[in-house]
Chain A
């Protein structure tokens, strides 16, 4: 295995915690993200990530945990997006854009304040691009608890949510409260984006939310199987990303490792490309 994984990787407690956090977040992101893609809310997910960024930056500027800032920021953004207007697709788009603009401005302010109070760029780097290996064990437990809650909530609303995502009018006619369901789902997405921000940073957090489910959708024919494939893709991207990042330390004489976030996101993109190719090949074969 030494040719594949440099020695000492798993004996490092920070790496073990980071991999645990990454795997848990990858699973919850895949579950929530599958609905994000089906509902066509990728832009809303990205906007929530930017709002999470301002929350994380604000929290850090005030001396609190970035995780709390990420999650609370994304939740406030989700509430704002639903409050501004959701009756029509165009209104939803505008609402998302308005919240996104406001959040980006706040992020700029908070990141500026952080640089005033700190001589290093570490905090800014951590908020923007994450730092999986700096996650503490208590933070891991909080991430785990929130992830379990999100998964349970999704299990409860999953079927009506799928119904409403495919045809909101038909679902409403059957008594599904489509508006409340949308709000509930946006809040779950917000928490997930906040959790993902801890792993790969706020800027890249939607990569785990969108990438693995989008790749799985190219292959899956049933909802349950697609969920499993999406979660597997997400976990694989995190695990392999950690290994590649760790190993890359030994690749160059300068001993500078590639950032974990970059490795994870690059693998997510690779998974999507491969899944698309497989889909194209199987479609061509079946139509021939």
Chain B
């Protein structure tokens, strides 16, 4: 696949859930090997957008096209927002990662040596080789995120969809995971679409941002999207963007007409 080949193209998509418009006229594409941040506050529609791309929700208008071969589920790895694993689940970490490769197959199949080699390779790629023998339900939040990444990568996808993988991680673990993702992107040339409600932790690694607000999206290079005029148009009212020490502060509301309504999810302290 060439460097800038388009993996997925979302054109003019509307999504309605329970009769309510959640996304309106969404347009963007993702190129091979690109790191894209999907940014929006809680409830903005990030998960809906990811599920729609996976075909789990049908758009009411528009289309999601996968150039090249027909849509092949093996081209996409997915890490959902909520994966709650009971401590008693009788699976070692490496068994769980292997499910990412063959968990969709019916019937009795003995796993091959190649499968186990790929599992070890992916655990190594996410720097979690030492976790292989641990119970999957006994991992910390940061460890589980690494293992979920290996689980999604083991089928060698071209695009990795990550739904809020940084939620509930402390700042140190957040930074570790983001840097790890950047290394995975570089070494495996896999495109990444990562949803988050906070943009700053991704600033150093993102090639492109998709910003959701008020059911609309704006996409492009970070500096072209995270601007007062673009975000004000998205929110439908004035928004300030302040850059401090290389970090971005998004403030919704108008200082001159009333109290500043700082967007709780998008503002850095």
List A residues at the B interface (Cβ < 8 Å): 37-38, 40, 155-160, 162-163, 166-167, 169-176, 216-218, 220-223, 225-226
Is A166 a contact partner of B83 (Cβ separation < 8 A)?
A: yes
A157 partner residues in chain B, CB cutoff 8 A: 106
Among B26-34, B92-100, B216-224, B229-237, the stretch that binds chain A is: B92-100
A37 partner residues in chain B, CB cutoff 8 A: 88
Residue of A nearest to B85 (CB): A166
Among B74-82, B190-198, B200-208, the stretch that binds chain A is: B74-82
Complex A-B, nearest 9 residue pairs according to Cβ-Cβ distance, in ascending order: A163-B103, A169-B80, A173-B78, A226-B90, A217-B88, A220-B90, A174-B104, A175-B73, A173-B54
Interface band, chain B: 20 to 34
Is B92 a contact partner of A162 (Cβ separation < 8 A)?
A: no
Partner of A176, one of B80, B82, B104, B107: B104
Q: Is B105 an interface residue (CB 8 A)?
A: yes
- Known A160-B104, A166-B99, A169-B56; further 17 A-B contacts with Cβ < 8 A: A37-B88, A40-B86, A155-B108, A159-B105, A159-B107, A160-B103, A160-B106, A163-B99, A169-B78, A170-B80, A171-B104, A173-B76, A173-B80, A174-B104, A220-B90, A221-B135, A222-B92
Is A171 a contact partner of B103 (Cβ separation < 8 A)?
A: yes
List B residues at the A interface (Cβ < 8 Å): 51, 54, 56, 73, 76, 78-80, 82-83, 85-86, 88-92, 95-96, 99-100, 102-109, 135, 151-152, 155, 161
Is B78 a contact partner of A217 (Cβ separation < 8 A)?
A: no
Is A170 a contact partner of B151 (Cβ separation < 8 A)?
A: yes
Is A173 a contact partner of B73 (Cβ separation < 8 A)?
A: yes
With contacts defined as CB atoms under 8 Å apart, how many contacts are there between chain A and chain B in the complex?
Answer: 86
Partner of B91, one of A169, A175, A176, A222: A222
**Which of B51, B76, B102, B104 is the most central at the interface, judged by chain A CB atoms within 10 Å of its CB?**
B104
B151 partner residues in chain A, CB cutoff 8 A: 170
The distance in angstroms between the C-alpha atoms of A40 and B85, with both chains bound, is 11
Determine the main DSSP class of B at the interface with A.
loop
Least Cβ–Cβ distance between B216 and chain A, in angstroms: 25
Is A174 a contact partner of B73 (Cβ separation < 8 A)?
A: yes
The distance in angstroms between the C-alpha atoms of A162 and B73, with both chains bound, is 19
Residue of A nearest to B109 (CB): A159
Is A38 a contact partner of B104 (Cβ separation < 8 A)?
A: no
Is A222 a contact partner of B78 (Cβ separation < 8 A)?
A: no
Residue contacts A-B, CB under 8 angstroms, 17 given:
A37-B88, A159-B102, A162-B99, A162-B103, A163-B99, A167-B80, A169-B82, A170-B151, A170-B152, A173-B73, A174-B73, A174-B78, A174-B155, A176-B103, A216-B90, A218-B88, A223-B91
Partner of A225, one of B54, B89, B90: B90
The distance in angstroms between the C-alpha atoms of A221 and B104, with both chains bound, is 22
Least Cβ–Cβ distance between B252 and chain A, in angstroms: 31
A156 partner residues in chain B, CB cutoff 8 A: 106-108
The distance in angstroms between the C-alpha atoms of A216 and B79, with both chains bound, is 29
The distance in angstroms between the C-alpha atoms of A155 and B106, with both chains bound, is 8
B51 partner residues in chain A, CB cutoff 8 A: 169
Residue of B nearest to A152 (CB): B108
B108 partner residues in chain A, CB cutoff 8 A: 155-156, 158
Known: A170-B78, A175-B73. A222 touches B107 (CB 8 A): no
Is A173 a contact partner of B106 (Cβ separation < 8 A)?
A: no
Least Cβ–Cβ distance between A61 and chain B, in angstroms: 40
Is A160 a contact partner of B88 (Cβ separation < 8 A)?
A: no
Known: A218-B88, A223-B90. A172 touches B56 (CB 8 A): yes
The distance in angstroms between the C-alpha atoms of A157 and B88, with both chains bound, is 21
Known: A167-B80, A169-B56, A170-B80. A222 touches B95 (CB 8 A): yes
B106 partner residues in chain A, CB cutoff 8 A: 156-157, 159-160
Residue of A nearest to B55 (CB): A173
A162 partner residues in chain B, CB cutoff 8 A: 99, 103
Residue of A nearest to B91 (CB): A223
Least Cβ–Cβ distance between B5 and chain A, in angstroms: 22
Is A159 a contact partner of B89 (Cβ separation < 8 A)?
A: no
Least Cβ–Cβ distance between A211 and chain B, in angstroms: 14
B88 partner residues in chain A, CB cutoff 8 A: 37, 217-218
